[in-house]
Amino acid sequence: MQSKYFDIYANWQADPDAFWRAAAEKLDWYKPFDTVFDADQGVYGRWFVGGETNTCFNCLDRHVHQGRGSETSLIFDSAMNGARARFTFEEAVSEVQAIAAVLRNHGVGKGDRVVIYMPMIPEAVFSMLACARLGAVHSVVFGGFAAHELATRIDDCGAKVVISASCGLEPGRVVPYKPLLDHAVDMAKTKPEICLILQRDELHAPLRYEHGDVDFRHAVEVEKVNGTVVDCVPVAATDPLYILYTSGTTGQPKGVVRDNGGHMVALHWTMENVYGVKPGDVFWAASDIGWVVGHSYIVYAPLLAGNATVLFEGKPVGTPDAGTFWRVISDYDVKVLFTAPTAFRAIRRDEPEGDLVRDYDLSGLQALFLAGERADPETLKWAERVLQVPVIDHWWQTETGWPMVANPFGLGLLPFKDGSTTQPMPGYAVEVLNDEGHPVPRGTLGNIVVKLPLPPGCLVSFWNADERFRQACLTEFPGYYKTADAGVMDEEGYISVMARTDDIINCAGHRLSTGAMEEVCAMHPDVAECAVIGVADPLKGQVPCGFVVLKNRVSRDEAAIEREVVDLVRSEIGPVAAFRTVMVVKRLPKTRSGKILRGTMQKIADGMPWTMPATIDDPAILDEISSILQQRGYARAPGGIKESA
Ligand code: COA
Ligand code: AMP
């Protein structure tokens, strides 16, 4: 089929208001909006001003009203404990109402913040929707973060309530959440009024009733038995739906704020046009609700579009084997799968020939979408060969909430180009600029930016931090949103994303800040200064690697200090940081103005060609770092060589 992409993109360019108005008309509003886009409101303008709606209504109740109440909305599959469940739209409404009733009993209403710190279980999704139903603002915290990170988020958003579970399940271990939550609540300056705790069979947590702990299941059951009805609360289109914290360049995470109206309109549009699914189709985003992929494509977008969404607790490998993804696809007749390339690298590592595919019926699968990190061509080609469906690399980030650049399966695929994420989606006018803010010639590497205004569904600001948002994203390139990614646009407008321009790394598809890790390393009493860089990893894409310089006169065993620093990062940030390597070094390489040469260190560690920077203070230090890295097994790849400047 001839792709409709260019026509649709041109329609948007010609009249963005008409484009988004038409998209908005497919959803239900209590009160129609006055203007599609009001440039005078918010930091860069606001979408659907004057409109009133409810996201939960549009995700669930709307489908029931349209007579689709008995169709499947959520499919739950745990490869960790074998649990399976299916919920129709009608059942999902009941589940959500019961949780909303409990929240309401505890005084949660429009605008109140609720932190959700839960594993991948249906109650987590229903809790998010219960908040949306009440007009409360949820902030989901990924289970792999430790107490300090959780406390930071509770404090920053001023959470009134926390919803959590007794434990998460990781391969080979049960992860007790409650001690982490208790520690976080003790640390937080803003104490939540109550913590709703869901007890899982694998581990029962002792509840601190005196601190406001409430048994989730018991409280929810009471409301179910009573049949308590909780109607959706109309909220302004511009009211916040959620805050999702993501790594910034410091240890203080950025609270990305998403509104109700723009978010639902944009996400709804993507399901048919980008992902090519129709109401009733089964869509599976194999991610976690703690990340933006989970928010957008496990929870909101598929439900808004009337799809059945798969909630999967498990890993692509080891739970129990590298055929798990194929089992889920075949058991539930998944039409479109979305995951991070690292998941496929893991499967390929365990099962290079992909033989397990033959044990399952994957005939319903029509496409695989990849995002979250750069897709290496070998993995992409492997996935294509094994699955025999188009494999579509697309690019977006927590801030945007939905794809900036993709090959739109629903509009008809465009020709693929190796290493490229294809074309900008309607709403995004993508350009590539040099550091001075001028467009670079096609084919030249530069800063990828999006011309303002950002389309509906993108962040409206950082929580309580408009100025930080302006400074971080809008100031460097006036009139544009800075994506902090570097890339190339070719003659035909195809975009290839190459690397971050800041200190964010992508580790197993998880976004991590090396700056935040440096802050933690520096907390160790023996550490004078430190640097953390991302080094290439065949499975996870990148993993963090730390370098610490010890304070004068520290004479303790260096290996012991290294272990302590690793433990410190794990206990402060969490296991998700995947911080396993740190090296004591005598000095860090710096420019004469004192800037640590992280980029050059990274090249050395990755075995890439590197040159001695002209501005270096003491060239001998880089040679020292190079030899330490080689002793530790890095910097060995062919070409890992110092080139003459
Ligand atoms: N709760 C508690 N701990 C968690 C966790 C959670 N929700 N998620 C991860 N962790 C822990 C892991 O158990 C691991 O702990 P360990 O150091 O004791 O082994 C650590 O955090 C690092 O996790 P991860 O980087 O995910 O490594 P892994 O070896 O457990 O799994 C992959 C590697 C590739 C299989 C896995 O990361 C994966 O499937 N990724 C792709 C899909 C994805 O989720 N992408 C997200 C964005 S789309
Ligand atoms: P997150 O906010 O966690 O979704 O991470 C977003 C970042 O991941 C982006 O800014 C990119 O650096 C990277 N990323 C996401 N998708 C891609 C992709 N398809 N190709 C290259 N990098 C990507």
User: Is the pLDDT at 37 greater than 70, yes or no?
Assistant: yes
Does residue 611 carry a pLDDT above 50?
yes
Output the CA 483–ligand 2 centroid distance in Å. 10
Question: Quick one: pLDDT band at residue 251, thresholds 50, 70, 90?
Answer: confident
How many other CB atoms are found less than 10 A from the CB of residue 128? 30
Which two three-digit tokens encode residue 147? 């107490």
Look at strands 194-198 and 213-215 and give their pairing: parallel
Classify residue 377 by burial, with Cβ atoms within 10 Å: 0-12, 13-18, 19+: exposed
pLDDT of 567 higher than 50: yes
Helix (H), strand (E) at residue 244: strand 240-246
| CA of residue 449 to ligand 2 center, whole Å | 14
Contact 360, 391 (CB under 8 A): no
Ligand 2: which atom is nearest the Cα of residue 509? 3
For residues 576-591, average pLDDT: 95
Nearest CA to ligand 1 atom 8: 144
633, 636, 637, 642: CA torsion to nearest 10: 140
Average pLDDT for 17-45: 98
pLDDT band per the 50, 70, 90 thresholds, residue 635 = low
* Atom 6, ligand 2: residue with shortest CA distance: 397
Cα distance between residue 110 and residue 311, in whole Å: 27
pLDDT at 41 over 50: yes
> Mean pLDDT throughout 354-374?
97
116-125, 262-271, 601-610: least confident range: 601-610
Q: What is the pLDDT of residues 315-333, one digit of tens each?
A: 999 999 999 999 999 999 9
Structure tokens at 169: 């399940």
The residue type found at 244 is L
Domains of the chain: 5-314+394-487 (3.40.50.12780), 508-643 (3.30.300.30)
pLDDT band (50, 70, 90) for residue 639? very low
Ligand 2 atom at minimal distance to the Cα of residue 500:
12
CA dihedral 349, 353, 356, 358 (to 10 degrees): 160
Decide whether any atom of ligand 1 lies within 6 Å of the 541 Cβ.
no
Show Cβ contacts of residue 114 under 8 Å, excluding neighbours closer than 6 positions: 103, 108, 127, 131, 136, 137, 138, 139, 159, 160, 161, 162, 163
Distance of CA 352 to the CA centre of its chain: 28
The pLDDT value recorded for residue 432 is: 98
Q: Are 377 and 391 in contact (CB under 8 A)?
A: no
CA of 312 to the centre of ligand 1 (A): 14
Write the pLDDT tens digit of every residue in 305-316.
999 999 999 999
pLDDT bin (cut points 50, 70, 90) of residue 615 is confident
Q: How far is the CA of 509 from the centre of ligand 1 (A)?
A: 9
- Tell whether the model's pLDDT for residue 364 goes beyond 90: yes
State residue 1's pLDDT score: 75
Q: Which atom of ligand 1 is nearest to the CA of 539?
A: 34
Give the pLDDT score at 638.
41
Q: 248 C-alpha vs ligand 1 centroid, how far in Å? A: 20
Q: How many residues are present in the chain? A: 645
CA of 76 to the centre of ligand 2 (A): 27
**For position 504, what pLDDT does the model report?**
93
- Give the position, in ligand 1's atom list, of the atom nearest the Cα of 540: 34
Cis peptide before 453 (omega within 30 of 0): yes
What confidence category does residue 645 fall into, taking pLDDT thresholds of 50, 70 and 90? very low
Cβ–Cβ under 8 Å, residues 451 and 482: no
- Distance between first and last Cα of the chain: 52
Atom 3 of ligand 1, residue of closest alpha carbon: 144
pLDDT tens digit sequence for 172-201: 999 999 999 999 999 999 999 999 999 999
- Asked if the bond preceding 320 is cis, omega within 30° of 0, the reply is yes
Averaged pLDDT, 131-136:
99
Q: Beta 194-198 vs 161-165: how paired, if at all?
A: parallel
Helix or strand (DSSP H, E) at 18: helix 16-24
**What is residue 232's predicted lDDT score, i.e. its pLDDT?**
98
pLDDT tens for 53-75 read 999 999 999 999 999 999 999 99
CA of 373 to the centre of ligand 2 (A): 5
**122 CA to centre of own chain:** 19
The pLDDT tens digits for 200-213 are: 999 999 999 988 99
Residue whose structure tokens are 């209504």: 57
Q: How confident is the model at residue 623 (pLDDT cuts 50, 70, 90)?
A: confident
Q: What percent of the chain has pLDDT over 70?
A: 98
Atom of ligand 2 nearest to the CA of 421: 19
Tell me which amino acid residue 478 is.
P
Residues 195, 504: Cα–Cα separation, whole Å:
32
| Ligand 2 pocket member 295 (CB < 6 A) | no
Q: Distance between CA 282 and CA 444 in Å, rounded?
A: 40
Residue nearest to atom 10 of ligand 1 (CA): 144
What's the mean per-residue pLDDT of the chain?
A: 96
Determine if ligand 1 sits within 6 Å of the CB of residue 279.
Answer: no
68 lines ligand 2 (CB under 6 A): no
State the Cα–Cα distance between residues 211 and 512, nearest whole angstrom. 32
What per-residue confidence (pLDDT) applies to 46? 98
Atom of ligand 2 nearest to the CA of 399: 2
Phi and psi for 643 in degrees, rounded to 5?
-100, 150
Pairing type for strands 254-259 and 461-462 reads antiparallel
Instruction: Encode pLDDT of 252-306 as tens digits.
Output: 889 999 999 999 999 999 999 999 999 999 999 999 999 999 999 999 999 999 9
The predicted pLDDT at position 114 comes to: 98
pLDDT tens profile 434-449: 999 999 999 999 999 9
Q: Which of 130-144, 466-480, 601-615 has the lowest mean pLDDT?
A: 601-615
Nearest CA to ligand 2 atom 1: 397
Tokens of 626: 């190079």
Q: Which tens digit of pLDDT belongs to each residue from 394-409? A: 999 999 999 999 999 9
